[in-house]
Amino acid sequence: MYGHGYEIVSVGASPDGTMVASACRATKPEHASVRLWSTSKWSMLCDPLLFHTLSVTCISFSKSNKYVLTAGRDRSWALFDISSVQESKESGDQGWILKQSAPKAHSRIIWGSCFTGDDRAFATASRDKTVSGC
């Protein structure tokens, strides 16, 4: 899995095992991207997911494989719709849509994120000793 500028610090896998997402250490926005990989060919599925300004510390896939939730050192989280990633190679689109985000959602680094079992909500946990839901 080549393409990151620095060492990988977070990885997430889709529930159906068809995709892996990775992010590397980042001190600048240009390195704070998330890359989606196909597990059948180990090639990138689409353009990198862009939102964060510092390292992405956690990556969570929804149970339906439709969404990816990222959170990081910049205290922010982002929700990406990746439902059209498979078609993006043929159409030339970036393959993802930033659905929702919360810059500075916490006052300290976000260390964890997860979806509920029905994909209707998610939560983030931070070093600021809070858990926030959406």
CATH code at position 57:
2.130.10.10
pLDDT 10s digits, 26-73: 999 999 999 999 999 999 999 999 999 999 999 999 999 999 999 999
Domain count, the chain: 1
pLDDT digits (tens, 9 = 90+) for 5-29: 899 999 999 999 999 999 999 999 9
Q: Tell whether 14 is covered by a domain.
A: yes
Is 2 part of any domain?
A: no
Distance between CA atoms of residues 82 and 17, nearest Å? 15
How many other CB atoms are found less than 10 A from the CB of residue 98? 12
Question: Measuring CA to CA, which residue among 29, 60, 33 is closest to residue 125?
Answer: 60
Cross-strand partners of 68: 61, 80
Q: Region 116-133: what's the mean pLDDT?
A: 94
- Residue 3 located in a structural domain: no
Residue 92 CA to residue 42 CA, distance in Å, equals 19
| Average pLDDT along the chain | 92
Stretch (H or E) spanning 85: helix 85-91
**Would 79 be classed as within a structural domain?**
yes
- Tell whether 1 is covered by a domain: no
| Residue 45: inside a domain | yes
3-state secondary structure of 48: coil
| Amino acid at site 97 | I
Residue 59's domain comprises 8-133
Q: How confident is the model at residue 87 (pLDDT cuts 50, 70, 90)?
A: low
